[in-house]
Structure 1
Amino acid sequence: MALEPYHVVAVNTSKASENKIHDDATARRFGFKAGFVGGVNVYAFMTHLPVRQWGVDWLQRGTGEAKFAKPVYADAAAEVAGVADADGLALTVHSEGILCATGRAALASKLPPAPVLGDFKSVPVRTERAVADEASLRIGDWLGMIPQPVTAASHAQDLADIGETDPIYAREQIVHPVTIMRCCNWALSHNVMLPAWMHMGSDVRNLGLARVGDTLTARGRITKNYEHKGHKWVELDVMVVANETTPIIRASHIAIYRPRQVAEAA
């Protein structure tokens, strides 16, 4: 059964960020139309349908998956479509007639035991950031992030930036998945230098709710570092935590930390 699609106009909220893949001039030099809208924003668009389908239950204990195939560009309309099946929702994101992302969401009645906080090591951010490579992103290393307080102002800004129309986040002061998923990015960018990089996908298990006033941190372990089609890839197993006590999500987070275009331009 097909759900009513969700439509949103994408905003590039990262034009001024250190990641130059969001910069128009840099992205065009690499052969793209313009700077990318962040993958965490596209994932945020995709979460609208499972929240519409299952409400706060999905935010507390649902699962989500996203794979990004093509960029979504600033000021372009994006359509999130969902088809309900026996296993949950199959999700797609189209923009300008192009399939940009695929994924799934579910609210299973039975899941394996939830991961526990003690299985994820809490470490401070590195005092010096080396350029991202096989040594600075060594398999087995743990990564932290600079703690991020969620204020009323930052919460409202995040909702506005992604054009979220579901009232549950403002009404109940629930932190949006875009804010939480950004912590997975910060586990990388707060520890290594990433001149131009791309979030390529995430597999997420929701574990609890964060609310305005909480402080978010991430505990991530590098599980893979490899080359594929000229790109350098890294994968993290990340737990995002509220107030150093409450697990919010566990995610397998995948990124290209050195696109082949960067290597070719060097």
Structure 2
Amino acid sequence: MAATAYEVRARNLSAQSENRIHDDTVARRFGFRGALVPGVEVYAYACHAAVARWGRAWLEHGTAECRFQSPVYDGDLVAVEAAEAGDGLALTVRREEAVCATGRAALPPPGPLPDPAGWTWRAPPAGRPPASDESLAPGTLLGTAPLQVTPALAAEYLAGVGETDPLYAGAGLVHPGQVLRLCNQALTQNVVLGPWIHVGSQVRNLAAARVGGTLTARARITANGERKGHRIVDLDVLVVEGEGTPVAHVLHTAIWRPRQVA
């Protein structure tokens, strides 16, 4: 089957965030053309193809992996290409000829849910320590404050990522990009970071998160090391709804200190 394409106008939804890699001036100091659109939003664009292919079932037990390769900038017209590949979809996100992200989505049969007890929730500290090898040591537990996804917040996110699929609003479901955002917050709510970059995620959806519900992330650091001069952290994250209904299991990777800072 030939690749199908979905186009969307990218928006930097984090221009006012603490992560100044999403600020034009700081991003240019790092050699970029301007502020980076967050990787979680690039992932959100790619998810459109999976939901178009499998519908609500993909939100309930689909899988995806996404690796970010080159920047997406505010205002870029990006194309998400989806091609049948084995039992899934091969995904490519482009701006003009540049490949910005690659990945894969699939819909395996539903499997057993992970036990939330295996991911201990820890409240974010009142005073966050600076990001360091000590504060991001393997085995460290991280948690996010409960986030209630109100109808207004869900609608704002759908508009922000240009999502027009009627499934979300019609069924009252949270967009998977908004779920993945909690993995970033597992870092930002627990340590003080300088400019940092999300580089990839592997996601197993476990349930469709519902608008009006409350989401939290429970995470543990599995690795923290150096690659090509960058300091990189890997997180094993379980996003839960309410008192502990698993929504997504994510392996999340970020450059917490770029080599330009070092």
TM-score when scaled to structure 1? 0.96
Give the partner amino acid of 2:139.
G
Structure 2 counterpart of 1:201? 200
8 Å Cα contact 1:5-1:81 kept in structure 2: yes
Structure 2 counterpart of 1:87? 87
- Cα deviation code 1:124-181 (max 9, x no counterpart): 1122211111100010011001111101110010000000011100111100011100
Structure 2 counterpart of 1:99? 99
- Cα deviation code 1:192-217 (max 9, x no counterpart): 01120000000000000111110110
- Aligned pair count reads 262
Give the partner amino acid of 1:200.
V
Structure 2 counterpart of 1:231? 230
Counterpart-to-counterpart distance in 2, 1:209 and 1:20: 31
**Mapping for residues 51-66 of structure 1, pairs under 5 Å:** 51-66=51-66
Large movers: runs of 4+ above 2 Å: none
8 Å Cα contact 1:150-1:212 kept in structure 2: yes
**Mapping for residues 1-266 of structure 1, pairs under 5 Å:** 1-109=1-109, 111=111, 113-263=112-262
Counterpart-to-counterpart distance in 2, 1:133 and 1:256: 12
Q: Compute the displacement of 1:116 (Å).
A: 1.4
Give the partner amino acid of 1:157.
E
Q: Compute the displacement of 1:96 (Å).
A: 3.0
TM-score when scaled to structure 2? 0.98
Counterpart-to-counterpart distance in 1, 2:4 and 2:87: 18
Q: Which runs of 5+ in 2 are unaligned?
A: none
Counterpart-to-counterpart distance in 1, 2:235 and 2:119: 12
When the two chains are superposed, the root-mean-square deviation of aligned CA atoms in Å is 1.0
Counterpart-to-counterpart distance in 2, 1:224 and 1:116: 22
Q: Which runs of 5+ in 1 are unaligned?
A: none
- Cα deviation code 1:72-127 (max 9, x no counterpart): 0000000000111223000000013200000000001365x331111111111122
